[in-house]
Each structure stands twice: as C-alpha cells, then as structure tokens.
Amino acid sequence: MSSGHHSITLAAPAKINLSLRILGKRPDGFHELETLMAPIMLADEIEIAHGRGKEITLTCNDPGIPTGSENLCVKAAVAFLEEVGLDDGVAISLLKRIPHGAGLGGGSSDAAAVLKGLNDLFDRPLVNEELHRIGSRLGSDIPFFLADGPSWCRGRGEILEPASELPRRHLLLVKPPFPIPTVWAYGKYSELKQSEKLSEPLEKQSLGSHEIINDLEIPVFKKYILLPLLKQWLREQSGVESAFMTGSGSAMVAVMEQGFSLDCLQEIKKKISEQFGNTLWVVSTEMGS
C-alpha cells in the first residue's frame, strides 16, 4: 500500500481525571469504572515515518523508557500492521514531556497517537471503530485518546460518552519523584473495600457542575503520605480553586481560580521547592480541547 506521506508528527496530550469512581469488580478481573477524563495542553510529541525493511523501531529522549516490544507504542504499531495485513517497517520517534507513572495517561496517549498516525501514514485503511477496537485491546485509556475532548468513560474505561464543555482553567501539575503502579493502587483499593476500611472524603470540590472525586486517593494516600500533605497544602494556596490526585497518581492537580494572577502561580512554584524540596516535577498548563 503506497502512501502520500513520508512522515507524520502528532501531539499526544496528557489527561486528568476530574472524577474517578470504582463501581465494583468485573468478572474479567478488571474494575468497573466511571471516570470523567479531560485532555490537557501538556503533550508528548510523536513522529512516525516509514522505516527500513520490516522493522518497528522506537527512539525516545527519555532513557528511562523501554523502547523494545514491551513498549505500548511498539505494541500499537504491531497491532495496527497485523490488522491491516502489512509487514512494512515503521520508525517511531517519541519526545516525552509527560512523566511516567503519574496518572496523566502518557503511555496510553502515545499509543493512541501511533494508531492515528499510522492510519494517516497508510492512507486510512481503518475506520474509527476498528482503531477503537485495537485500542481497547491494548489498554483501557487508549479509546479516550482516540476520541477528542472530555469524556465520561465507563466499563474498563473503553465505553465513551462525550462530556459537556468543561470550564477552561489553568492547571498546576505537581509530581513527586516516585511513580505509582496502577495495578497496585487498584489492588489496594479492593483490599480496603473488602475489609470495609474505605471512608468517603469529607470535603467537596467541583469544577463547574462536576463534582471532583477520586476513589483511588484513599488507598494511595495511606501509603504515600506526601500526597495528602501536598493536596492539603495546594488547597490552602491563594488562587487555587481545587486540588486532587489524577488517576492512580502520583501527579497532583491544582485547578487555578478564574482570574488568578501569574504572580500567584510563580509564588506557589517557588513555595513548593522551598517546602517540599526541588525533586518535584512542577508544570503549569491548561485544560485542552
């Protein structure tokens, strides 16, 4: 199959979970979820080109990211080529800006970008439903990134319903120097649920008409005690409307009030390194499309 493009470059945006409720355990061992996810402006960049021979190669600016067959981008490329019946070579180059193990969906977003990019590179052999099917096989968050804009995601996360427009807000993302394994967070949640040690959070936060709540905060905060401190601290800062953990962590999100001043953002950044040391990754961004 010939192609009109030689290479294609895409942005792979991060996401935040404004709401993440765990409704129970499914027969397949996954958890039944209801989560409101929103894309944000922070994004990885992916370039996809025709490769030499039949090889799928991945290069990445972050030496900590594995680039072999276990990488989700490589898995996505393999699945795409199999589905279409091609044995072309593909060269993927990944510029990481979204930290790993942060609850920001970087890996899933990269994989979704690879699926979209390859589909364009090979002149669209697959329709959206087919890409969606491959995506949900590879990872629960990938279908969200194949769609566009904020969505309610249900099932394992693969059943999507577009959410109403969310208020545009500036965000401050703060991630401590450790990742949190998603599988561990869900496992710990189940454990606490069985022993009936889950307590509902007392404070109510919201964005527009949406309540902000993350069921995974309870198990994660029990073990990673820096996170509840960070959440409380962020909520007390002037200009901050709400603060919460995204996904299974470890990134915390502070939503800035409308009409906050940039000085106040600089002030918070400065205070973070004074109070929590300078090993934290701190980035300001805003809600995406």
Q: What is the CATH number of the domain that holds 45?
A: 3.30.230.10
More confident residue, 208 or 94: 94
- For residue 85, pLDDT over 70 is answered with yes
Shared domain for 123 and 193, answered yes or no, is no
Phi/psi at 140 (5° precision): -60, -30
Claim to verify: residue 144 and residue 11 sit in the same structural domain: yes
- Any domain includes 108: yes
**Paired sense of beta strands 90-95 and 56-60, if any:** parallel
222 and 183 belong to one structural domain? yes
| Structural domain that includes position 100 | 7-162
Q: Are residues 59 and 145 in the same domain?
A: yes
Same domain, 192 and 243: yes
Tell me whether residue 128 is in a domain: yes
Residue 213 shares a structural domain with residue 149: no
Residue 29 — pLDDT band, cuts 50, 70, 90?
confident
180 in a domain, yes or no? yes
Quick one: tokens of 230? 């960070």
Same domain membership, residue 180 and residue 112: no
Q: Is 15 a catalytic residue?
A: yes
**In the listed set 140, 162, 184, which residue is the last one of a domain according to the structure?**
162
Q: What is the pLDDT of residues 149-205, one digit of tens each?
A: 999 999 877 889 999 889 999 999 999 999 999 999 999 998 988 887 777 666 889
3-state secondary structure of 167: coil
> 138 and 267 share a domain?
no
- The catalytic residue among 75, 141, 175, 215 is 141
Point out the domain boundary residue: 162, 189, 210. 162
In this structure, is residue 2 part of a structural domain?
Answer: no
The verdict on residue 34 lying in a domain is: yes
Confirm whether 232 is domain-assigned. yes
Query: In the chain, how many domains are there?
Result: 2
41 and 153 part of one domain: yes
Catalytic-labelled residue, pool 15, 75, 96, 188 = 15
Question: What is the pTM for the complete model shown?
Answer: 0.93
Residues 197 and 102 occupy one common structural domain: no
Q: What angle do CA 239, 243, 244 make, to 5 degrees?
A: 170
- The two tokens of residue 6 are 């030689």
Q: Same domain, yes or no, for 16 and 47?
A: yes
| Average predicted confidence (pLDDT) for the chain | 92
- 243 occurs within a structural domain: yes
Q: How far apart are CA 93 and CA 61, in angstroms?
A: 9
Same structural domain, 151 and 69: yes
Residue that terminates a domain, selected from 126, 143, 162: 162
